[in-house]
Amino acid sequence: MRYAELHKLSIEHPEKFWGEQAKLIDWFEEPKEVVSQDEQGLYWWYKGGKLNTSYLALDYHVKTGRGDQTALIYDSPATGSQKKYTFSQLRDEVASFAGALRGLGVEKGDRVIVYMPMVPEAAIAMLACARLGAVHSVVFGGFAPNELAIRIDDATPKVLVSATCGIEFDKVIPYKPLVDKALELSNTPPEKTVILARPQQSCEMQSGRDYDWEEITKSASPADPVPVDANDPLYILYTSGTTGKPKGVLRDNGGHAVALRYSMKNIYNINPGEVYWAASDVGWVVGHSYIVYAPLLHGCTTIMYEGKPVRTPDAGAFWRVMSEHKVSAFFTAPTAFRAIKKEDPEAKFKAKYDLNMLRTLYLAGERLDPPTYDWLADILDIPIVDHWWQTETGWAIVANLMGIEPRLVKSGSATVPVPGFNVQILDEEGNEVPRGESGSIVIKLPLPPGCLPTLWQDNERYVESYVSTYKGYYLTGDSGYIDEDGYVFIMGRIDDVINVAGHRLSTGEMEEIIAGHESVAECAVVGIDDELKGQVPVGFVILKDGMDMDDKALETELVQLIRAEIGAVACFRQALKVKRLPKTRSGKILRKTIRRLASEDNVPTPATIDDPVILDEIKDALSANGVGQFAK
């Protein structure tokens, strides 16, 4: 069946379409309903079904003859080491650690925070939680103690799992002091932690609270998979919210397993037994979906890479991994290849490696800019596939479906809606706009399986954030248009969450931190287009009367504040001192206008601005500090 027929079937008869896909899953008990609504109007998939995600990812493949196939390859240029696990070995490791967690009191429904570097034990911890029916919440290892504490307080975990350190290039970053500080800041700290000892860094252990990973795993009885309901939560993944408080995206077990299994063949055109690599981090949604779960659910070999695209040791790092491990499909963010292009514009390192196994390159996490696409198309004789999705959806909304019907690429478009996603463009009144006209990108409810059914313990915020703006539609938060051929073009965010190298971060949260500085009266943080990172945050700061700090000293202090509260991942490096901020007559800061001033020459003066002269002042500040188009 061709794409148009499949997509139409999925939209007009979702029960039939997704009922068929559910048959590919080895359920303990078959679902009673394919899709249903609860008393609050929230949609759920596969009600009545019972399964276990860890069983599907591991035990099922052992049972069906893939026990000796490599399931996971750990490749760490950071430590100069590699390790491989077969499906049987990985199942045994996961069962043992699940037994260790059970020994610490973790049961079905309990939460476990995972704050780990890119090591196999991070995936083992996630799968062990899933095995017990516990809910994992992975927090990116680069986040500062305050960010970790916020997530601890929201998830209220029974156990926190971490390691003695992470490694960034050649720098060892001790994790245990960050964990200790987060537990100190938290109002609801877990009573127990499990710490993976790495040879690069030791740590002090608190008796009665901190447990050594190896010791408790060695003495644990392996745990069998616990049957859970399809609608039971698998994990919570926090994404930046516009209020500064992260939103706990909830992922269920049943819909997640069906959707990710479906995506591997139909979007990525990958077969069981092949090697699939997503170069991301388990702290982000790509790491959840396409490092850990989807490849293993589909019977593929997945790669956990502890390194960077460059300087580990050089700009040939990615090509080396693809060649050495015979990768068939590779998925990363455009920012990774911008970094490689910057250091190796002629792709000389690529020429050193055999990439004959590589069939397709997939990019997502931020807009694929035409220069990066053109560079990749020049150096690779394979399809370069852009696709668009969100933490909330967990898998692609719009893609070039390589396993169904590959399409011609249109520069700037992620191609067409994936089956199950009824993508529409609406104006401010909620009317569908004509093809080619821009508006708010929405998805008609119900969302397909695998997407968030709600937020963790916050149905009200879910409704307010996603489904209240346009009744019957999920608000993506992005603007764009659909052309005459049905191609979707994503133009940008409509809120204040920016995309820094594929990481979604809240400028609102940054503003709250900056505003807490004793010299700052008012501020705005705006995402400015950046050739390498996609976007970077830039602060615009008004000092309190009587305060006269040196510009550089102020900038240094604000950078340190953001680094301490959010982490280096924010990439906040510039703070511009200004006398005024452009506002509407009602007092709303015109952030979009500031953003445009940084990248465009002829920016129209908004009709609602209180004083147009301020725009010249902002432009002068941008020019003087070399921001955006004024970069020196």
pLDDT of residue 59: 98
Task: Return the structure tokens found at 586.
Answer: 């009602």
**Which regions of 389-438 does DSSP assign to beta strands (E)?**
398-399, 416-417, 423-426
pLDDT of residue 530: 86
Exposure pattern of 99-138 as b/e (b: 16+ CB <10 Å)?
bbbbebebeeebbbbbbbbbbbbbbbbbbbbbbbbbbbbb
Task: Return the structure tokens found at 315.
Answer: 């700009």
Name the strands in the sheet holding 473-482, side by side, starting at the edge strand that comes first in the sequence. 423-426, 439-444, 473-482, 488-493
Closest CA to 10 of 418, 426, 400, 387: 418
Whether the full predicted model's pTM is greater than 0.95, yes or no, is: no
pLDDT of residue 587: 64
Question: Is residue 143 a contact partner of residue 564, using CB atoms and an 8 Å limit?
Answer: no
List CB contacts of 403: < 8 A, sequence separation 6 or more.
265, 266, 267, 268, 269, 270
Closest CA to 419 of 3, 34, 44, 35: 3
pLDDT of residue 585: 61
Residue type, 548: D
Q: Which segment of 65-79, 256-270, 495-509, 522-536 scores lowest on mean pLDDT?
A: 495-509
Q: Which helix (H) or strand (E) holds 233?
A: strand 233-239
pLDDT of residue 243: 52
Q: What's the whole-number mean pLDDT along residues 516-535?
A: 88
pLDDT of residue 608: 63
- Residue-by-residue DSSP string for 154-179: HH--SEEEEESEEEETTEEEE-HHHH
Query: Dihedral, CA atoms, 330, 333, 334, 339, nearest 10 degrees?
Result: -90
DSSP label of 58: I
Pairing of strands 192-196, 171-174: unpaired
pLDDT of residue 447: 98
- Residue-by-residue DSSP string for 128-143: HHHHHT-EEEE--TTS
Predicted confidence (pLDDT) at residue 500 exceeds the cutoff of 80: yes
pLDDT of residue 370: 80
For 221-244, write each residue's pLDDT tens digit. Answer: 999 999 999 999 999 999 865 556
For 283-301, write each residue's pLDDT tens digit. Answer: 999 999 999 999 999 999 9
Question: Is residue 43 a contact partner of residue 467, using CB atoms and an 8 Å limit?
Answer: no
Predicted confidence (pLDDT) at residue 632 exceeds the cutoff of 70: no
Residue type, 381: D
Q: What's the whole-number mean pLDDT along residues 135-152?
A: 92
DSSP label of 432: B
423 or 591, which is more confident? 423
List CB contacts of 282: < 8 A, sequence separation 6 or more.
114, 116, 118, 122, 123, 126, 138, 288, 291, 292, 304
For 577-628, write each residue's pLDDT tens digit. Answer: 999 989 866 567 888 899 899 989 888 887 667 788 899 999 999 999 999 8
Closest CA to 274 of 70, 127, 63, 119: 70
Q: Which residue shows structure tokens 């900038």? A: 555
Closest CA to 505 of 536, 547, 548: 536
pLDDT of residue 274: 98
| Share of residues in the chain with pLDDT > 90 (%) | 78
pLDDT of residue 415: 96
Predicted confidence (pLDDT) at residue 630 exceeds the cutoff of 90: no
Predicted confidence (pLDDT) at residue 54 exceeds the cutoff of 90: yes
Q: What's the whole-number mean pLDDT along residues 261-288?
A: 97
For 170-193, write each residue's pLDDT tens digit. Answer: 899 999 999 999 999 999 999 999
For 370-401, write each residue's pLDDT tens digit. Answer: 888 989 999 999 999 999 999 999 999 999 99
Ranked by mean pLDDT, the top range of 241-245, 264-268, 424-428 is: 264-268
Predicted confidence (pLDDT) at residue 37 exceeds the cutoff of 60: yes
CA distance 25 to 134: 20
Q: What domains can you pick out in the chain, each with its CATH number?
A: 3-476 (3.40.50.12780), 514-630 (3.30.300.30)
Q: Which segment of 36-50, 196-210, 228-242, 492-506 scores lowest on mean pLDDT?
A: 492-506
Exposure pattern of 516-533 as b/e (b: 16+ CB <10 Å)?
ebebbebbbbbbbbbeeb
User: What integer best gives the mean pLDDT of the chain?
Assistant: 93
Ranked by mean pLDDT, the top range of 289-303, 366-380, 400-414, 539-553 is: 289-303
Closest CA to 34 of 58, 10, 54: 10
Helix residue ranges, H only, 327-481: 334-343, 370-379, 459-462
Closest CA to 621 of 573, 568, 581, 592: 581
For 157-172, write each residue's pLDDT tens digit. Answer: 999 999 999 998 889 9
For 458-483, write each residue's pLDDT tens digit. Answer: 999 999 999 999 999 999 998 889 99
486 or 507, which is more confident? 486
pLDDT of residue 90: 98
- Indicate if the alpha-carbon torsion angle 433, 436, 442, 448 is positive or negative: positive
